[in-house]
């Protein structure tokens, strides 16, 4: 909380220099865990979500500075959220966590779901990053504060092909590419950009996938990580040059290998799906 000094790697927020932070999709799940982590590290956190009432309730519960409604697909709304955060304290961090996870093969997805995957998972972080970078630059130019952090919740699926989640994986791969490119574009300004790429997390997104479907089974074939692990994995990169990390690391290596050798590796897909289906059945017992 404000008034206590916490270290986040080499990054600190002190009672003498509070900074604000925005977390999108933060009313519950991973976003709530990230907002809680940032509150604990001294940020004045603005909890945002499509559900305004849930955002305010979460903000009250975790001791955040406030909560409000925000649609990440609206570029103008990103600018307004930045203004709200800067009214609390100079902007120190922007975390694009909001995401959707509609599963299904490319030919099965509705047009609305396909568009939402791209607009929320890729364009959402893009509009947020543009607004945050503009704020960081203005603060530096006026001597208010230097630099800042941008974080994006991506997915392990960004690193390789995921049958049954092909459009979702493509949107996340685009988000990871965006993070990597932007990190290079702004690093000389003291702005650091990071992404966390977790394996499956037992949130509403995973539970909302088709029971017994190919996508859910493949996700469950790995290691389910907790929302707290994802939050810590992202925020611990603040103040450092590291661009992204995978959780767990071994699954990241496996997905990268799949991307390099898609033909041979995808022959293992039926076996992996069977493992995921068995795990899902055991959880229902």
Burial 148-186 (b: 16+ CB within 10 A, else e): bbbbbbbbbbbbbbbbbbbbbbbbbbbbbebbeebbeeb
Supply 206's token pair: 């995973």
Residue 88 to residues 67, 82, 85: CA-CA distances in angstroms?
Answer: 12, 10, 5
Peptide bond before residue 24 is cis, with ω within 30 degrees of 0: no
**Contact present, 248 and 223 (Cβ < 8 Å):** yes
Residue 70 annotated to the active site: no
Q: Which of 43, 70, 168, 244 is catalytic?
A: 168
Beta bridge partners of 198: 247
Q: Which residue, chain included where needed, has tokens 């029971």?
A: 211
Supply the residues annotated as catalytic. Answer: 168
């Amino acid at each position: 909380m404000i008034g206590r000094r916490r270290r986040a790697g080499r990054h600190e927020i002190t009672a003498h220099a509070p900074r604000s932070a925005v977390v999108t999709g933060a009313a519950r799940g991973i976003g709530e865990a990230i907002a809680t982590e940032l509150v604990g590290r001294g940020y004045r956190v603005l909890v945002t979500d499509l559900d305004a009432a849930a955002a305010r309730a979460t903000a009250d519960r975790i001791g955040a500075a406030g909560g409000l409604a925000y649609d990440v697909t609206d570029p103008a709304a990103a600018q307004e959220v930045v203004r709200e955060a800067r009214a609390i304290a100079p902007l120190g961090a922007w975390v694009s966590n909001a995401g959707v996870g509609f599963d299904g093969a490319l030919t099965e997805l509705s047009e609305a779901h396909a568009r939402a995957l791209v607009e929320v998972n890729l364009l959402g972080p893009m509009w947020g990053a543009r607004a945050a970078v503009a704020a960081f630059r203005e603060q530096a130019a006026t001597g208010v504060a230097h630099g800042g952090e941008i974080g994006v919740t991506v997915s392990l699926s960004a690193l390789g092909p995921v049958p049954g989640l092909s459009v979702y994986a493509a949107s996340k791969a685009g988000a990871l590419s965006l993070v990597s490119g932007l990190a290079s574009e702004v690093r000389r300004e003291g702005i650091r950009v990071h992404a966390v790429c977790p394996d499956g997390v037992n949130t509403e997104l995973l539970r909302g996938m088709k029971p017994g479907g190919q996508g859910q089974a493949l996700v469950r074939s790995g290691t389910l990580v907790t929302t707290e692990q994802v939050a810590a994995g992202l925020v611990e990169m603040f103040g450092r040059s590291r661009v992204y990390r995978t959780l767990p690391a071994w699954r990241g290596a496996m997905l990268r290998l799949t991307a390099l050798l898609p033909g041979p590796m995808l022959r293992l897909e039926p076996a992996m799906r069977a493992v995921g289906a068995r795990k899902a059945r055991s959880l229902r017992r």
